Structure 1
């Protein structure tokens, strides 16, 4: 039984952090000193963790596959004059869950989970974009040396 638990731990280690779904978003922000073009490039990351153990006859198995899908977004903002500001945004555990039994093959599971939760991931991307707006405006003000009001 100990051998099964060690195998499960090894499988879980191999399955962590598989990048899957790529997403993009572009936006234009009006600013008193010029237009800001912001490009967002996001990738989902699926983590699989094997937990529990296989049991012997007559006893229930506790073997489960826990999974989470997180989002990492790279942002590049360009002020009209050509100045750039880059930033990495992230949201852990956009969606998570578990299923009984062994974790499936990493690539297959990661693609299925990301595709199944595409709408949740897109909503998380848009929430990060909205949160980032104030930071972009502040960065633009700093680049231009103009204080931000309000």
Structure 2
């Protein structure tokens, strides 16, 4: 008798899910955002730089669902990256923006499906807001030299 085919593939007595790899990477989703504002002195005048940090979490489903009575190897691994957007505005109308970030801010794994673990992972990341702020401030500090160089180029370009 031929195997059944009704949305599922039947091979002998073993039913298989439609061919879907359980090692799926999902798109990164923002979990939390923080702002940091700093004022820099520049030869063109005072410049306010606003750094907006968004924690982006990427989930990856690994393992397999086991038949009844056997231990499942299904896990959701995740990692959080910090994506930063800087908007700087000077007193003479100079504006500069830049996007950059830091990968591997946090990482972890949870048993089971990623869809059921998303809320708990988001809560775990949110509980580390102080660490996120520390990383955001450090990245903002590292950006001061590139920002000053960019402002110098812009200032020279307007001939002021």
**TM-score band w.r.t. shorter chain:** 0.7 to 0.9
Aligned length: 143
Provide the TM-score with structure 2 as the length reference.
0.76
Q: Cα distance 1:43–1:106, how it changes in 2: closer, same or farther (>3 A)?
A: farther
Provide the TM-score with structure 1 as the length reference.
0.80
1:4-19 mapped onto 2 (5 Å cutoff)? 6=20, 8-9=22-23, 12-13=24-25, 15-19=26-30
Q: CA deviation at 1:83?
A: 0.8
Note if contact 2:44-2:92 (Cα within 8 Å) is conserved in structure 1: no
Q: CA deviation at 1:110?
A: 4.9
Q: Secondary structure at the match of 1:6?
A: coil
Q: Secondary structure at the match of 1:62?
A: coil
Instruction: Give per-residue Cα distances to partners, 1:12-65, cap 9 Å, x unaligned.
Output: 45x431112111111001123311110111211111111011223564432111
Structure 2 unaligned runs (5+)? 1-14
Q: CA deviation at 1:100?
A: 2.1
Q: Which has the higher contact order (CA 8 A, sep 6+)?
A: 1
Q: 1:73 aligns with which of 62, 84, 87?
A: 84
Structure 1 unaligned runs (5+)? none
Relative to its length, the structure with more helix (as a share) is: 1
1:131-146 mapped onto 2 (5 Å cutoff)? 131-145=142-156
1:63 equivalent to 2:77? Answer no
> 2:18 & 2:124 partners in 1: Cα distance?
25
Q: Secondary structure at the match of 1:145?
A: helix
Q: Cα distance 1:58–1:108, how it changes in 2: closer, same or farther (>3 A)?
A: closer
